[in-house]
Amino acid sequence: MPTSVTRQQYFDSAYKLLSSEGFTSLQVVRLCSVLGVTTGSFYNYFRNLNDFIAQFLQTWRQDETKRIIEVAEVIDEPAERFRKLSEQAMTVPHEAEAELRAWSRVNEMVHAVQHEVDELRLGLIRRAVLNLLPCDPQANHLAALGLSIVVGMQQLQSPIDHAQLKWALDQYVHLVLARASGSSEAITVAPDRRDLHQTQV
């Protein structure tokens, strides 16, 4: 039995439990069992289970969203930044994130952080798209499409097929870059129905 474990090891175990057993498995005794330590070790780091969940969620937000922002936004060249963003999307813990989204439907604290993560990621994609397509009226829709690919795959597959996700992201990158270059290969994005309504009125 380990004499001690780190705070990060608790978080790593949480990712594994989310992926394999679901969010209901995130209990003090189960976490300690996975790590092979007594519950006393848990309380060295966390006041209670809610404190653990709060810290875990903020770590997820920092490591899997802020990290991607920092990696992508140091790249100046717009097309290269966009490709890097797609690469980084492959690195998040997809199975755990699918379970976090399910958990967010029944837990207000998880819901709040999930919403914040979605907004941060959507904003990052939007900025990357606008760097390529600064005058494109459909830039917001293109950004939402990119996030939807990842979220949709996470909800559709368990475990996620990383090769299929990479293929989908590669198609998305090709679409946006072709649109930015004015290529005939670019697919025209349909206008928003609200735009059509306003035009008809």
Instruction: State residue 96's pLDDT score.
Output: 97
Confidence band (pLDDT; 50, 70, 90) for 158? confident
d(CA 201, CA 195): 10
Confidence band (pLDDT; 50, 70, 90) for 196? very low
d(CA 196, CA 108): 36
Helices (H), the chain: 7-21, 28-35, 39-45, 49-61, 67-73, 78-89, 94-104, 108-132, 139-156, 162-181, 193-200
- Any idea where the domains of the chain sit in the sequence? 1-46, 57-200
Token duo for residue 101:
């989204």
Instruction: State residue 199's pLDDT score.
Output: 43
Q: Are 23 and 103 in contact (CB under 8 A)?
A: yes
pLDDT digits (tens, 9 = 90+) for 110-157: 999 999 999 999 999 999 999 999 989 999 999 999 999 999 999 999
Q: Flag whether pLDDT at 186 surpasses 70.
A: no
**Mean pLDDT, residues 27-44:** 96
Helix 78-89 × helix 108-132 angle, to 10°: 150
Percent of the chain with pLDDT over 70: 89
CATH of 57-200, one of 3.30.450.40, 1.10.357.10, 3.40.50.1860, 1.10.287.1080: 1.10.357.10
Q: Flag whether pLDDT at 80 surpasses 90.
A: yes
Instruction: State residue 110's pLDDT score.
Output: 98
Instruction: State residue 183's pLDDT score.
Output: 58
CATH fourth-level superfamily of 1-46: Homeodomain-like (1.10.10.60)
> What is the pLDDT of the chain when averaged over all its residues?
91
